[in-house]
A = this chain, B = another copy of it.
Amino acid sequence: MMRFRLSDIAIDGAAERRALAADAAGACVVFEGWVRDHNDGRSVQRLDYQAYAELANNEGERIIAEAISKFEVTDARCIHRIGNLVIGDIAIWVGVAAAHRGSAFDACRWIVDEVKLRVPIWKNEHYADGDSGWLHPDGKAVAEY
């Protein structure tokens, strides 16, 4: 279906949004995750995303399909960046179209949550102090590997 994909180039949100258009859709909700200049109190300069592509694509498509069957939506798409990103870049783009806004908001939020939880993609943050590290956010210390 290719409603989920990984991209090693900048995400074109306008093009993705056009792909959701449908005459029966009255609401479109888009989430963009932007690389921000801080995390957990540390100053971030850039980051890298790495993915286990085969499983990420399968799991991503599964999440979109689940969202479409779970919520009253006409279509949904998700693109996740891999590679090197700088402050302000779009890391993840999730768009949902639906007849009504309630289900568009619910489905969009749900997809973002599930992608963050399930899809095998990892973030390596590079800090202003020169330090860097892969994030493995399960409540345990980052360095504990």
Interface residues of A (CB under 8 A from B): 13-14, 17, 21, 23-38, 87-88, 97, 99, 101, 104-105, 108-109, 112
Contact = CB atoms under 8 A, between A and B. Distances in A.
A127 to B, nearest CB: 15
Given A30-B30, A31-B27, A34-B28, A105 B109 contact: yes
A interface, by DSSP: helix, strand, loop or mixed?
Answer: mixed
Copies, count: 2
A27 B35 CA distance: 9
Given A13-B14, A21-B88, A88-B21, A36 B26 contact: yes
B32 A28 contact: yes
B27 A30 contact: no
